[in-house]
Structures are given as C-alpha cells and as structure tokens.
A and B are shown apart, each in its own frame.
Chain A
Amino acid sequence: MTQPSQNMVEARSVRKWFGSNEVLKSISLEVPRGQVLCLLGPSGSGKSTFLRCINHLETIDGGRISVDGELIGYTQRGDKLHEMKPKEIARQRRGIGMVFQRFNLFPHLTALDNIVEAPQGVSGVPKAQARERAVALLERVGLADRVDAYPAQLSGGQQQRVAIARALAMEPKLMLFDEPTSALDPELVGDVLDVMRDLAASGMTMIVVTHEIGFSREVADRMVFMDGGVVVESGKPADVLDNPQHERTQLFLESVL
C-alpha cells in the first residue's frame, strides 16, 4: 500500500475537460510536506481549475491526485477508479483548507460563527471548545476585536483574514489559496499576506495561486508557471522569476512586473 510519502500533494497526469475544452492537459507536480508552492500563469491557464481538483470541487477526467498519501475523490478497485460517496469526499475535504478570491464568507453568520460552524457542525468539536479556538484564530489573524461582526461590516482584507481563520479551524494539513488578494484594495493586501507568511513559517503546506510576485519570491519554496493547461516551467522562485527559460514565461513576467 501507499507509504506515507514525504509529499503532501502528488498530482499525476491530471486532465480536465469542460465540454470539448481541454483545460488541464496532463498536469504533474508534487508538493513536499511543509513547503509552499506558488502557481503563476495568465488568465484562463487553468490555475483555479487545478486547485479545485485537489479538493474535488471539480472532478478530473484523467490522472490522479493524492493528498497525504490518500487518493482524492476516488477509490481504486482493481485497475479502475470509482468516484467516492459525498460523505467520504466531505471527510477528505476536512483536511484541506481553501481560501477563495471572493472570500465567500457566510453573510448570515458573524465572524465567530463563520469559524465555528464547520468544526462544531461536521467535526463534532464541543461548542465551548470550538468557540475558544475560533477566538484564538481571530486573534492570530489580528481580528480579536471583530468577533461579533457580520461579514458585511468588515473590510475586504478583514473578510479574507476571517476566511483564512475559518479554513484553519478545521486543522487542515494543506491549504489552498486561489488569488486571495486580487479582490482587495492595494492597502489591504499587506495584512492578508502577513497572515499567509506566518502560516508558511509555521510549517503549513500551501499551494498559492497569486500574482504577488514579491510575496512568492520571499515565501515560496517552489514556483510553477502554467499556461494553456500545461506546466511550462517550474523551479526555485529566483530561477523562474529572474532567469525564465521559456519565452511564454518571459512574456508573462514582463506583463506582470
């Protein structure tokens, strides 16, 4: 059986079609435990789709993805992959946190209740303990004073930090970030990046789709450049950013920097 490998995420020849549009064309990559991978690429290159395949928000049409040695979304019987029941998929997702570009906080719940909902409701953490931990998480993202605020009463940057705290409340082993700062006013980006920087320093395994070149240069262990559904180039951030080997990477970096 599968050894607990040193990789937290392993993607092998992942393919995905939307209708006749092949969005992911055999993507293979791995993320070692405790490392940060930054995904870079032009709009429509399939970054979000790939991220969403990792927690099975999208089904894949070929290849396989495993997180912490466990195949995501499918069970292998013989040489066939069978899609899991919703319940098992939900269990797998509990170990994978996700942060969205548009925050997606639950507007009818306060900041605290947003964080408490999943641990208390699906993981069965006792109420008092869940709340205590939620308060601690809000403190960690610098929002100890906004416990009872509704999302509509928070700035974009504050909402995104609550969203990060909400994902962390499930004690995930992997965090996925899909352009977490691109919907924010420039002056609010810094607070969110600070939280992510701390998280990376604490040893969390992370995959981050971002156009914040400075951030990825500093925090990423590895950087992957995607275009047209394929991995064009990957390596240490400094190598990819300062010495891109492919013309497409060069062109993209020129347009972003």
Chain B
Amino acid sequence: MTDRVDFDDSDDVVAVPLRHPGRWIAAVAILLVLAALIHSLWTNTNIIHSSITEFLFDPRIIKGVGLTIFITVVSMVIATILAIVLAVMRMSANPVLRAVSFGYIWFFRGTPLLVQIVFWGYLGLLYSQIAAGIPFTSIQFFAIDTNTLIPALVGGVIALSLNEAAYAAEIVRAGLLSIDHGQREAAYSLGMGPGYTLRRIVLPQAMKVIIPPMGNETISMLKNTSLLAVVAVAELYTAATQISAQNLRQVELLIVASAWYLFMTTVLSIPQYYLERRFGRGTARELPLTPFQQLKAAIARGRGRSNSRREVAQLQKGSLS
C-alpha cells in the first residue's frame, strides 16, 4: 500500500525543466559586446554612413555583384564537371588515368590560388600566341593572339575552375566511395554498362554525400572571386575598391562589399537545402518538411493546441475525479 501513487496529488505536480542560468549570463555578455561594437562603428565620426547607403545600390556595385555571381556559377559548373571526370579517372583501373588525375590534384592543390590567377593573367607574356597543331612539327591548324583568346575574365574563370576542380574531385571521390559496391554489382548484373551505372545509379546516390561540402566550396568560390581584383576583373570587390580609390571612402565601401557577400552566401544556402532534399529521397522513411511546410504546420498546430490542451486537461480531470 505504501508505494501506491496518489493520483489526486500527482495531478498538481508541476515539472520544472532544468534551469540554465549560465546561458543567460553568456547571452547578455555577448549582446553587450555586440552592442558596444555596433555603437562604436555607428558613432565613429571617421565613417560616413550616408556613403554606405549611397553606394550600396550604386550601378557599378550592382554590376560587380552580377559579375561575381556569374563567375561563381560558371566556375562551379565547370569545376564540378571536371571534378567528376577527375574522380572517375582517379578510381579507374587504368594506371595512366590514375596518375594524370593524381598529378593534377597534387599540382592545383599544392600551389596558391592567387599565383594561379596571376599566372593565367600573365599567359600573354609567356605565350604570345596560342596555336593548335601537331606538337614538334611545323603543322599548324590555327593560331590566335593569347590576349584575344583569354581576356582577364576568361583567364580568371579558368584559374578558379581548374583550382576548384582539384578540391571538388576529392569530394566527389569520397561520395563515390561511400556507395556500397553491391549497387554497382546489381547494376552490372542487369546489363548496365559502367558509364550508365555511374550516371544513373552511383552518382545520384553519391550526391547526398557530395552536396553539403560542395555548398561550402561554392561559398569559398564566391569569396575567392575577389582575388580576380589582381587581374582587374570588375567583380564586386574590384568595383568597390575602384570607387574607394576615387572618393577615399575605403572602409565604407568594404562594408558595402561585405554586406553583399553576406547576402549572397545567405541566398546560396537555399538551393543547397532543396538539392539535399531532392537527393535524399528514399533514404529516410519520410522526407523532412521544408521550412515553408514547417511554418504551415506550426500555424495549424498553434490553432489546434489551445483547444487540445484544454481538452486533455478536462479529460484528465473527468477521469480522475
């Protein structure tokens, strides 16, 4: 009789969740520091705030943003395709292909990106003409002036793509390695060839592993486009520094550029989220809801909750009293 729980009493017991006073102290401290920082920037007489708002939507800045997005997208697409080729070569049975892929990755990961960009910029000095012909003979199909064929923008995109491909190749390879060998065997046993198996069976599954780090790489790429300033491509950072060279508002324009970079990286995480969902199909028993669906569900729940709470309470009271 002694260990029988008394229901009438337990009905009034309130569960108190564990308190975390440390969290509150930390949050207040961080907010204070942030507020002080913003205050010091805001009241700093050396920063002319009107020029931030003035240049945030300056046509040159907007053009720079457009070019930055363009370079990022084009370079990422080229790099991804090249990375798949490199990863497949690296895993091939052919030792020549393996060696080429290994050498490529070794070289492009081992030298600084900045150096590679400058190298492509200076290609015109190294080779005044680029010609297609048969090596070590005088046979030539055509020859073009290097600076015509590879203007700064193209050189910049080449440099960024080739460099990124080396990193992305390892990400793709990790993705391909993550797929159980049984998948390939099942595909082969159905009469699929190696290329078809890669395209239709292995890569779509590997995407789940490939996409999150590739999202990171895209954000890196977005910011690395600013390195093209050294070859005078008018992307966002170059545009900002060119303006500040005239009006000497360096800090203001860096703030403008940073705001745009932050905005773009934020926007980039949206397609990543949906890509992950798309390639995650079939792995979980049910797909998680999109933020939009979650919002709708939360609203629906919010409407329902007050009712159901009261109902539950009433039910309990009714059955126990």
Which chain A residues have a beta carbon within 8 Å of chain B's beta carbons?
55, 57, 86-87, 90-94, 96-98, 100, 102, 104-110, 117-118, 121-123, 150-153, 163, 166-167, 170
User: In whole Å, how far is B281's beta carbon from the nearest beta carbon of chain A?
Assistant: 6
How far, in whole Å, are A94 and B204 apart by their CA atoms in the complex? 23
Residue from B190, B196, B279, B284 in contact with A166 in the complex, judged by beta carbons closer than 8 Å: B190
Nearest residue, chain B, Cβ from A101: B182
User: B189 contacts A97, CB within 8 Å?
Assistant: yes
Nearest residue, chain A, Cβ from B192: A122
User: B282 contacts A152, CB within 8 Å?
Assistant: yes
How far, in whole Å, are A108 and B180 apart by their CA atoms in the complex? 13
User: A87 contacts B193, CB within 8 Å?
Assistant: yes
Q: Which residues of A contact B183 (CB under 8 A)?
A: 104, 106
A-B contact count (CB 8 A): 79
User: A93 contacts B191, CB within 8 Å?
Assistant: yes
How far, in whole Å, are A12 and B183 apart by their CA atoms in the complex? 30
Which 5 A-B pairs give the minimum distances between C-beta atoms?
A: A94-B191, A104-B186, A150-B282, A118-B190, A98-B189
User: B191 contacts A108, CB within 8 Å?
Assistant: no
Q: Given the interface contacts A57-B185, A106-B186, A150-B282, does A86 sit within 8 Å of B193 by beta carbon?
A: yes
Q: Given the interface contacts A121-B196, A121-B200, A122-B196, does A107 sit within 8 Å of B190 by beta carbon?
A: no
B165-199 vs A: 1/0 string, CB under 8 Å?
A: 00000000000000010110111111111101000
Q: Which of A105, A106, A151, A167 has the most CB of B within 10 A?
A: A106
> At the interface, yes or no: B201 with Cβ under 8 Å from chain A?
yes
Q: Which residues of B contact A110 (CB under 8 A)?
A: 282
Residue from A57, A105, A106, A109 in contact with B189 in the complex, judged by beta carbons closer than 8 Å: A57
Q: Which residues of B contact A97 (CB under 8 A)?
A: 189
> At the interface, yes or no: B4 with Cβ under 8 Å from chain A?
no
Nearest residue, chain B, Cβ from A149: B282
We find that the number of chain B residues with CB closer than 8 angstroms to chain A is 24
Q: Which residues of B contact A106 (CB under 8 A)?
A: 183, 186-187, 201, 205
Q: Is the interface of B mostly helix, strand, loop or mixed?
A: helix
User: B190 contacts A122, CB within 8 Å?
Assistant: yes
User: In whole Å, how far is A160's beta carbon from the nearest beta carbon of chain B?
Assistant: 12
> At the interface, yes or no: B283 with Cβ under 8 Å from chain A?
yes
Q: Which residues of B contact A91 (CB under 8 A)?
A: 191
Q: Which residues of B contact A96 (CB under 8 A)?
A: 189
Q: Given the interface contacts A106-B201, A117-B200, does A57 sit within 8 Å of B191 by beta carbon?
A: no
User: In whole Å, how far is B36's beta carbon from the nearest beta carbon of chain A?
Assistant: 51
How far, in whole Å, are A170 and B283 apart by their CA atoms in the complex? 26
Q: Which residues of B contact A117 (CB under 8 A)?
A: 190, 200-201
B272-292: which have CB < 8 Å to A? Answer: 279, 281-285
User: A108 contacts B185, CB within 8 Å?
Assistant: no
Q: List 10 A-B contacts (CB under 8 A).
A: A57-B188, A86-B193, A90-B191, A104-B186, A106-B186, A108-B279, A118-B187, A118-B191, A167-B190, A170-B191
Q: Which residues of A contact B185 (CB under 8 A)?
A: 57, 100, 104
Q: Which residues of B contact A55 (CB under 8 A)?
A: 189
User: A150 contacts B189, CB within 8 Å?
Assistant: no
